[in-house]
Amino acid sequence: MWSGTVPPPPPSHPRRTGSGCPRSVVAGTVREVPTDRDLRFLSAADQAAVVAAGEVSPAELVDVALERIADVQPRLNCFAHVWADQAREEARAATEALARGGSLGPLHGVPVAVKETTQVTGRAFTLGSRTHEHVVAGHDAHVTAALRRAGAIVVGATTSPEFAHTLVTDSPLWGATRNPWNPSLAPGGSSGGSAVAVATGCVALAEGSDMGGSVRIPAAWCGVVGLKPGIGRIPMDVLPGLFDSISHHGPLARSVDDARLFLRCTQGPDDRDIQSVTTPLDLDGPTPSDVRGMRVGLSVDLGSWWVHPEIADAVRSAAAALEAAGAVVEEVDPGLGAADEWVWLQLWGVFMSAYFGNLLEEWADRMDPDVVSLIELGNRMSATEYKRLELARTDVWRRVSGVLAGRDALLCPTMATPPVPAAKTDQVSVQHPDDGRFHTNDMTGVFNLVAPCPALSVPCGVHTDASAAGVPIGLQIVGHRWREDVVLRLGRAVELALPEVTGRRPPG
């Protein structure tokens, strides 16, 4: 579903043919981009390159994106809003800017999407909730404005569960978003719409937010790249308060290079977020991929998780590929588990209570029951109990920093299980065996407790068993505080080592 309809686009050319490669300077490097490729699945950097070279106009790129959205949306429901008229108007302005000459941003003319929880001036700001069905944003969030300054054109807002609360992207306002590899399954959440939009070629880049894995989870289940940067690397000003300690913006992309480009364009500092990191990273050029001599820890279960055997095998294979590329891989045990997940859940309940608890009296019967339960969990916590969570987080940090000491990163699965059903009404209660293992879907939320540590999900395998055949598997790479460059480097090495995995596209 989306607001309004997408007008039929003028004739466009999803596949460009021709001889030779346009040469263009983008993001400080010379790129050679073959023209006989599907524009829908060009990287963001390559889309910017063909625009800058005059091979494709921003208007054509936007029309291709809108045509693809119109094809994908009825099947997978990944957009809450499509702003076709405004996007075409911005594309015309981008084309005129090209004609005038002068410097171009690194994403000039490139269609992108933002999550419906992120403000775009004058556009619907719905949060997946009936409580916000008619809310219009009065300003751009930092991340939106940064993408626009880089020349990107925002074509729409992607679906989220209500208030981005969970890993199933099924909201009271828009219904269920579906996995592009198997529509009966969930794409993950809460940035599920963004991951689907990227995986299916609607856009090359989409913004997501990550409070407990909401970028990394859908990246893993949809087979794309998702980065949770260290807190404050991308200024976070979408929340009512500026002192939240688990919330991050991050990119969904089809390649590590594009995720790095997104980060380069959107990193701070920005005084609109007092916690924004004041020293930007140097992210010009392509992502380095040489991992010779790098040391990484490997923990398939983080100490206690039950992990699906196919996921465990894929993660071990990715670690072996890094080892073959020259990295030193060592088995480690961070000793993380259910008690740490409970710490995160309590923080999340207080978050929900503080920001949305005032809506219960009027809206409770029209809200997701899980949201109501989270708000009630937060309501039950005393201020002292909440403060004591800092002691538990301190202990988590000591364990994580212990396995990172002397190493460049920690490798583990992003998800412990294949995707669950797409619709909340189809969820089933599973009786887990009493085997001493921690049974849950994700392995991400614990790393929001150590918020300055970046965490990247990159495809590393494919499920083959009947319940999820063809669905991707994600490797999670966790780094030292604010060393996004290191996790991206390792992720790029995985891409190069596993091209049969990272180059896949979903059917349709």
Question: How confident is the model over 471-503, as pLDDT tens digits?
Answer: 999 999 999 999 999 999 999 999 999 999 988
Please indicate, yes or no, whether residues 349 and 450 belong to a single structural domain of this protein. yes
* Strand-strand pairing, 225-228 and 455-462: antiparallel
Please indicate, yes or no, whether residues 400 and 307 belong to a single structural domain of this protein. yes
Please indicate, yes or no, whether residues 184 and 317 belong to a single structural domain of this protein. no
Catalytic site residue from 24, 43, 115, 247: 115
* Bridge partner residues of 153 (DSSP): 111
Position 31 scores a pLDDT of 52
Region label for 267, one of left (φ > 0), alpha (ψ between -120 and 50) or beta (otherwise) = beta
Residue 490 in domain: no
Q: How many domains does the chain have?
A: 2
Residue 503 in domain: no
Domain range enclosing 37: 23-266
Catalytic site residue from 214, 299, 353, 457: 214
Tell which residue, 332, 470, 304, 335, has the closest CA to residue 407: 332
- Give pLDDT < 70 ranges for the chain: 1-36
Which two structure tokens, joined as six digits, stand for 453?
A: 């540590």
Tell which residue, 502, 292, 262, has the closest CA to residue 408: 292
Length of the chain: 508
Position 33 scores a pLDDT of 53
Contact 115, 208 (CB under 8 A): yes
Please indicate, yes or no, whether residues 121 and 225 belong to a single structural domain of this protein. yes
- Phi and psi angles of residue 29, each rounded to the nearest 5 degrees, phi first: -130, 155
Please indicate, yes or no, whether residues 345 and 389 belong to a single structural domain of this protein. yes
Residue 204 in domain: yes
Residue 18 in domain: no
Among the candidates 266, 283, 307, a domain finishes at 266
Position 22 scores a pLDDT of 38
Residue 305 in domain: yes
d(CA 227, CA 261): 12
Position 466 scores a pLDDT of 87
The answer to whether 115 is a known catalytic residue is: yes
Please indicate, yes or no, whether residues 245 and 344 belong to a single structural domain of this protein. no
Contact 153, 204 (CB under 8 A): no
Contact 115, 206 (CB under 8 A): yes
Question: Which parts of 265-421 are beta strand (E)?
Answer: 295-298, 328-331, 409-413
Peptide bond between residue 269 and the one before it cis (omega within 30 degrees of 0):
yes
CATH number (domain holding residue 474) = 3.90.1300.10
d(CA 327, CA 440): 30
Q: Which helix (H) or strand (E) holds 154?
A: strand 153-158
- Phi and psi angles of residue 30, each rounded to the nearest 5 degrees, phi first: -90, 125
Give every CB contact of residue 270 below 8 A, 6+ residues apart in sequence: 142, 235, 237, 276
Peptide bond between residue 19 and the one before it cis (omega within 30 degrees of 0):
no
Tell which residue, 505, 506, 478, has the closest CA to residue 491: 478
Position 430 scores a pLDDT of 86
Residue 92 in domain: yes
Please indicate, yes or no, whether residues 342 and 258 belong to a single structural domain of this protein. no
- Phi and psi angles of residue 225, each rounded to the nearest 5 degrees, phi first: -95, 135
Among the candidates 246, 266, 286, a domain finishes at 266
Please indicate, yes or no, whether residues 209 and 256 belong to a single structural domain of this protein. yes
Please indicate, yes or no, whether residues 310 and 208 belong to a single structural domain of this protein. no
Angle between helices 309-324 and 484-497 (to 10 degrees): 100
Residue 491 in domain: no
Region label for 39, one of left (φ > 0), alpha (ψ between -120 and 50) or beta (otherwise) = alpha
Catalytic site residue from 24, 171, 190, 457: 190
Burial class (CB in 10 A: 0-12, 13-18, 19+), 451: buried
C-alpha dist (Å) from residue 67 to 168, 174, 216: 26, 21, 27
Which two structure tokens, joined as six digits, stand for 386?
A: 């909440």
d(CA 332, CA 258): 30
Please indicate, yes or no, whether residues 212 and 305 belong to a single structural domain of this protein. no
The answer to whether 190 is a known catalytic residue is: yes
Residue 494 in domain: no
Please indicate, yes or no, whether residues 66 and 210 belong to a single structural domain of this protein. yes
Please indicate, yes or no, whether residues 193 and 78 belong to a single structural domain of this protein. yes
